[in-house]
Structure 1
Amino acid sequence: MSNSILSIIEERWSPRAFSSKSISKEDLNLLFKAAGKAASCFNEQPWRFVYAHKEDTENFNLLLECLVEFNQEWAKNASVLVATVAKKSFSNNGKPNQHSWHDLGLAMGNMSLQAMSMDIYLHNMAGYDKERTVKNLNITADFEPVSFVAIGYVGDKNQLPNDLKEQETPESPRKDLDEITFVGQMGK
């Protein structure tokens, strides 16, 4: 038994510089299968993924157009773009599912770790236009877009604009445990 974090978790990071190497359909399907194994409230599995490989220019551009300009600038080099979508209500009773985003987050955690084991990297993005996403990707009313993900192999940081080159590092600060954990009540 170890007293350390798994190396795959310790080494996880979110690059913006992606290489031109393509992700195979089989490898991408493994990432989606890993996501699909996540726990979810009542086993609802409320996550959905709308994606396109870079080689599928028409669909890739539909996703890329949904991103804010800042994210478009670097995400255009990813091998795959994914829009994550969550179902708003439970299938069995139609009641609102207030846990769907949490469950989608668990699915993305699984996907991220599976990707790391394959030397593939994910960069999650919150910077997108929700209305354009719904329209471009034909998101139905019972679902809502949550985030976008750029997926690919790490590339050369020199392909990034100067202001982003400095940020392109696997080391990012993390809060100390005493900032994120509380015994019994918050603030104690």
Structure 2
Amino acid sequence: MLPAMQGFDKKSHGVDLLGRDFLVLGKLIYMLGVCIKCTALHPEASALAPPLLDLLSTREVCHHKEPYVRRSALFAASCCLTALHPTFIASALMEGNEEVSRGLEWVRAWALQIAESDTDRECCTMAMACLQLHAEMSFQASRALGSAESSVQEKGIGLPSNLSKGAIRIPGSNSLFLG
């Protein structure tokens, strides 16, 4: 999966994925979404999701002029949200993993922007579904964080102040998820 993500923005052997060959780019992104979906709830998903979200967040992909590419990107982002285990997200937030939290916050903000302003009706519908998946993932991660907090308190280990209050704040966001 990682080699397939490299070089999508490079023009090679007459292939222009960001331009005239956008169908191939859309199929590639869709295939990457299927790959991450196949690793759902396995440790591999936690290693593959951040680079995929990074690829999706590039301006050339997430704001592509063709709706087909944006739909594929929304599908792949949704697959990332369902593939990551809530305990992984909770532990990544506890450890301060900026890459995961930044990627998840980007998905929320981007899907919200697409839902509000995209001209393609199917993109808007997919963005709303992506937002719902993000909300469910946040809720499950908050619950996992709450149970992790309980077990940590039983062992007498201290948590950072924002986590001990049962709040999840994603860096670079005004969002606050209560546990």
TM-score normalised by structure 2 residue count: 0.28
Choose between structure 1 and 2: higher strand proportion: 1
Higher RCO (CA-CA < 8 Å; seq separation 6+): 1
